Amino acid sequence: MKTTCIMIAAALTCLTSLSATDISLPAPDKKGGKPLMQALTERRTNRNFTKTPISRQDLSNILYAAYGINRPEADKHTIPTAINMKNLVLYVTSADGTYRYDAKANKLIRHSRKDLRQFAFMRKSMPLSSPLSLIYVADLSKGKDRASILTYSHAHAGSAYQNVYLYCASRGLATVICGGFRKDVMEKELGLDTKKFAVLYTQIIGFPKK
């Protein structure tokens, strides 16, 4: 009985048990972790994942690292953005569907029931070997000059994925940022108007294979 209760509790806190509705994330854990210099030294790409689920606490911490709000009084984020345009849109996709991160509310907003992990890399086996992928999207409607907004947007995504790399190094997670993924399919599956939005990168995250 005790074991059953523990198993149910564990399932409820894992991403693989995401529900069909929006999800309030636990507050990010802003204490602890490895010292910055150690995390920098351990940062690396690792493409060998296990399917071990990522807890909601880890997911909240990952999203905070990527694009959380660290100064609520000014509505500002863990990454800098050119002319404070704050135009990064971040999705999480897993076996349970796809969610948009609402940084202000610290929530996952249900986008669709589709699992888009298979499009997060050119070969679908790699992203399907991990529990989740992040999808970095630029909102290009925040300015008039598409080319410069796009350039800035790649810089914003770069700041965010490096923060995630550092969190992963600190937490012992494996990750790879991908510029090579099924961009057209991803944009279509997300239902994006490509005049206004562009998918820039995906980032696959999971526990490392020993």
Ligand X SMILES: Cc1cc2nc3c(=O)[nH]c(=O)nc-3n(C[C@H](O)[C@H](O)[C@H](O)COP(=O)(O)O)c2cc1C
The most distant pair of C-alpha atoms in the chain lies apart, rounded to whole Å, by 61
161 within 8 A of 181, measured Cβ to Cβ: no
Secondary structure tally for the chain: helices H, strands E: 6, 9
Binding map of ligand X across residues 166-205, x = CB under 6 A, - = no contact: ----------xxxxx-------------------------
Q: Is 44 in the site for ligand X (CB under 6 A)?
A: yes
| CB 120, CB 178: distance < 8 Å | yes
Residue 18 vs 176, nearer CB to ligand X: 176
Minimal distance, residue 202 CB to ligand X, in Å = 8
Residue 56 or 117 with smaller CB distance to ligand X: 117
**6 burial type by CB count under 10 A (0-12 exposed, 13-18 middle, 19+ buried):** exposed
Min separation Cβ 45 and ligand X, Å:
3
84 binds ligand X per the rule CB under 6 A: no
Query: What is the C-alpha to C-alpha distance for residues 105 and 99, in angstroms, rounded to an integer?
Result: 14
Q: Residue 208: which of 174, 175, 183, 182 has the closest Cα?
A: 174
Check if the beta carbon of residue 116 is closer than 8 Å to that of residue 173: no
* Beta carbon nearer to ligand X, 164 or 176: 176
Residue 122 CB, nearest approach to ligand X (Å): 7
What is the per-residue binding string for ligand X in 123-162, x denoting contact by CB under 6 A? ----------------------------------------
Region binding ligand X by CB under 6 A among candidate stretches 41-49, 57-65, 102-110, 135-143: 41-49
- Where do contacts with ligand X occur on this chain (CB under 6 A)? 44-45, 47, 176-180
